[in-house]
Amino acid sequence: MAAGVVIAGIGLLGIEAQAGILIKRPLQPTGVDADARGHTIVVINHNGGRGRLMVRGANLAPASTFSIVLGGIRIGRLVTGVRGNGHARFSTRPGRREQTLGTDPRGKHLEIADDQGEDVLDDDIPDDSVQPDEKACCLPDDGGEECEDRTADDCQAEGGKVADVSSCMPNPCATAPGGDEEVGCCIVRNDEVECEQTTIGECAAESGTKVDSCNPNPCAPSSPGVVRCCLPDDQGGGGSGSGRGGSGSGSGSGETETENEMECEQLTADHCMALHGTSMDAGSCDPNPCPASP
């Protein structure tokens, strides 16, 4: 199934995979549904101004709607068929059957959450393809300005202006075609997600996530009753497939582990207690708010 998912995903995402950055990642079950499986595929072209994200799920609850949460912000949905399989496609320039990708996925935590707001599958999308010395660069173009990833020296040498953000998603070049268009922007402030109507350039300056509209508010990732739950990260990120729905022998046993990080999951308070976790208030798990375990 994994090979089929990857091949189908690359075909759906198009030829950008041949000319840009391609990241393929399996999603890990959190234990809410131990049989769930999934993959993510990220494609970003060389200049950094256009990206696509595909999320696939299998063995999920059939005929259900799941939220796709990226970096603590709900960016869209995934709908499953009668067999529990489904996929969601996102693009910085969405076409038919694509949802808006308003932020760079690299370095962010991605979750598939059920209708109760609980994480069913998740993964950290790596940022090792991001060059630390590159910034978003607004370069002169026939239609205004275009955004490309450049070092500050290269940007200035090409007659561009260096933007004070590290990515071209969303586009920080406010004079680019459509750059002054008013859009919704999800912004994280004090662990809370706010949606504001602003321009694409202003959204990028706030390190926000571009969305189509703030009415209704699409940003909040959690459902009522869902909290941040801190759990010992002693199960290898769910890679064994046993998840947290198994025996739970690693939680609260007092055994000495080589790893002492606590993992944050979006769960109901009762589910968190059943897994011997520590409940926090509602909010985002990105960045991880859980302290290191003793």
DSSP letters along 26-41, please?
EEEE-STTTT-EEEEE
- Please report which confidence band the pLDDT of residue 115 belongs to, taking 50, 70 and 90 as the band edges: confident
Nearest 5°: the CA angle 279, 283, 287 is: 95
pLDDT tens-place string over residues 201-218: 888 888 889 987 787 778
Residue in this structure with the two tokens 């409940």, named with its chain if needed: 279
Q: Above 70 in pLDDT, residue 16?
A: no
Domains and CATH numbers, the chain: 2-124 (2.60.40), 226-279 (no CATH)
Mean pLDDT for 250-276 is 66
pLDDT band at 292 (very low <50, low <70, confident <90, very high): confident
User: Do the Cβ atoms of 277 and 231 come closer than 8 Å?
Assistant: yes
- Asked, as a colleague might, if the bond just before 62 is cis with ω within 30 of 0, I would say no
Over 80: is that where the pLDDT of 10 sits? no
Q: Which of 48-57, 223-232, 243-252 has the highest mean pLDDT?
A: 48-57
Average pLDDT estimate for 163-182: 72
Q: What is the mean pLDDT of the chain?
A: 78
Amino acid letter, residue 243: G
pLDDT band at 99 (very low <50, low <70, confident <90, very high): very high
More confident residue, 232 or 86: 86
Check if the beta carbon of residue 260 is closer than 8 Å to that of residue 292. Answer: yes
Q: Which of 87-91, 186-190, 275-279 has the highest mean pLDDT?
A: 87-91
Compute the average pLDDT of residues 217-222.
72
The pair of structure tokens assigned to 199 is: 């321009």
- pLDDT mean over 20-32: 90
Digit-coded pLDDT (tens) for 154-166: 999 999 999 888 8
Write the CA distances from 193 to 74, 183, 210, 216, integer angstroms. Answer: 10, 16, 13, 14
Question: For the segment 43-62, what is each residue's pLDDT rounded down to a tens digit?
Answer: 987 665 688 999 999 999 99
Q: Is the pTM of this model over 0.75?
A: no
SS3 253: coil
